[in-house]
Amino acid sequence: MDEQLLKAMGLWPLWVPKDQETEVVTLSEPAASHEPSIASVHVASPFGFTESTPDVETPAAKPVISASAKAGLAAALAAARGGSSSLRHAPEKPATHVALPEAQQPPVQAEAPAPVSLVTKPVTPANDNWDDLTREIHQCRACTLCDSRTQAVPGIGDVQAEWMFIGEAPGAEEDRLGEPFVGTAGKLLDNMLAAMQLKRGDNVYIGNVLKCRPPGNRDPQPAEVAACRHFLTRQIALVQPKILVALGRFAANTLLNTDSTLASLRGTVHHVEGIPLIVTYHPAYLLRNLPDKAKAWQDLCLAMKTLQQTKH
């Protein structure tokens, strides 16, 4: 009788008496819809391509029974069985939170320490002078380059110059003679100065980032640049130039404390301690890449224009 009553109300087999086995009912699939499924929806990306959302299974819709319908059904069944309700209805259990033992807690990852830059800003002595600085450069043993050098190469030129050109490191001829830019690259630099109506030693000071020659003219190492950096900072403070010209990537990266490419640094007026800085190619590079001389001349023209603007 219970079964007939439930079937008459359209609720069989959602509720069944305890003494009967639950039948497995296969629900029919919902009718096909013209709306697109989630798996077929594409989201437009601001980066020029489309990104598809992951496939998501849509759960089947469950029949909803109101509270009044449940109460009426329970009363009808109770009356049919003599006042006792035997509906199989499992009460909902409240969700509980189980704390993991301390030993099973996931490990806490410590934050990685911030990277330490090898290039630091040294303190220039208040009573610094050229004699003390030159002596310290010749006596310096802060890195291993002192073991392979013939002599240190501090720099040369007008110590009150408006122009300061800074290269990378001494080469073989510079190491032998103790003066920067004296080989074929130095001759090209002299020609570049002449085109600007400048000359070595007259309103021009020339130096390098490193004061000692790396073996085999290899690239300077970060530790070597860090050990020699304060010498260049003190030279700039003593000369007090109106404009700086970085010759090559290593000079530019050291002065600007960056690792950017030379191409990205060219054509822009940078500043170091308030002094305008123009980046261009190293003369040794121009000897191997003659077409880039035109680009170097553009950089020098920008430097001359920048200096004129600082005077007005």
As a whole-number percent, the residues of the chain with pLDDT over 70 amount to: 60
Whether 70 is covered by a domain: the verdict is: no
Q: Provide the domain limits for residue 160.
A: 130-310
Taking the complete model, does pTM exceed 0.75, yes or no?
A: no
Domain count, the chain: 1
Query: What is the rounded CA–CA span in Å between residue 105 and residue 82?
Result: 55
Q: CB-side exposure of 243: number of CA atoms within 13 Å?
A: 20
One-letter amino acid for residue 46 of the chain:
P
Whether 303 is covered by a domain: the verdict is: yes
Whether 243 is covered by a domain: the verdict is: yes
Short-list 89, 91, 73, CA closest to 2: 73
Q: Which helix (H) or strand (E) holds 50?
A: strand 50-52
Kindly report, residue by residue over 169-181, the tens digit of the pLDDT.
999 999 999 999 9
Whether 158 is covered by a domain: the verdict is: yes
What residues have CB less than 8 Å from 202, skipping those under 6 apart? Answer: 158
- Report residue 209's pLDDT band, with 50, 70 and 90 as the boundaries: very high
- Report residue 128's pLDDT band, with 50, 70 and 90 as the boundaries: confident
Judge whether 300 and 244 are in contact, CB under 8 Å.
no
Q: Any idea what the CATH number is for the domain that residue 203 is in?
A: 3.40.470.10
What is the chain's length? 312
